[in-house]
Amino acid sequence: MAGPEHSLYRQVILEHARQPRNAERVEPHSHVAEAVNALCGDEAEVTLRLENERIAAIGARVRGCVISQAAASLMTEAVRGLPLAQAARLGGVFRQAIEQGETGALPPELIPLAPLIEVRKHRSRIRCALLAWEAIETMAGETAPGG
């Protein structure tokens, strides 16, 4: 359709959903976690390998809608190279940005995810944008005592 971009399904989101980055399972991996959206049954499985305490490889396999797939793809690109705890913190910042609808002060790693902030106008889709991040938070929570 020629015309203005769709407000929620921006080209960049559609493109990530069509060709998700890092959509393969990481083998061998040091961490794995799943997240399920109980409302719709959509699932994300995230695997990653830490090397020198940083995310050296990450994979997100998603069975879900365009938003959950694109969000997972963008997430994998945003967190690669970061320590796990920092990745989880970034997820928290992203969650807050969606809940408060703020795109102004996004940290540089999250700027590519800015188009997803639009989901705040679609209550039922917020979980979709956060699904893969929940897996990261789970992993970080499991290893939290050590830092």
Among 125, 129, 137, 139, binds another protein (CB under 8 A): 125
End-to-end Cα, the chain, rounded Å: 49
Stretch that binds another protein, among 38-46, 94-102, 103-111, 131-139 (CB under 8 A): 38-46
Round the CA-based radius of gyration of the chain to a whole number and report it.
15
Q: Is the peptide bond before 115 cis (omega within 30 degrees of 0)?
A: no
Determine if 66 is a binding residue for another protein (CB under 8 A): yes
**In whole angstroms, how close is the CB of 100 to another protein at the nearest point?**
22
Among 8, 56, 93, 126, binds another protein (CB under 8 A): 8
Count CA within 13 A, CB hemisphere, residue 31. Answer: 28
How many binding residues for another protein (CB under 8 A)?
18
Beta bridge partners of 47: 32, 59
Determine if 122 is a binding residue for another protein (CB under 8 A): yes
CA distance 91 to 134: 8
Among 23, 50, 56, 65, binds another protein (CB under 8 A): 65
Beta bridge partners of 60: 46
Determine if 63 is a binding residue for another protein (CB under 8 A): yes
Determine if 64 is a binding residue for another protein (CB under 8 A): yes
Which segments of 32-110 does DSSP mark as H helices, in order? 66-79, 84-100
The residue among 87 and 116 lying less far from another protein, judged by its C-beta, is 116
Sites of contact with another protein (CB under 8 A): 1, 6, 8-9, 14, 39-42, 63-67, 122, 124-125, 128
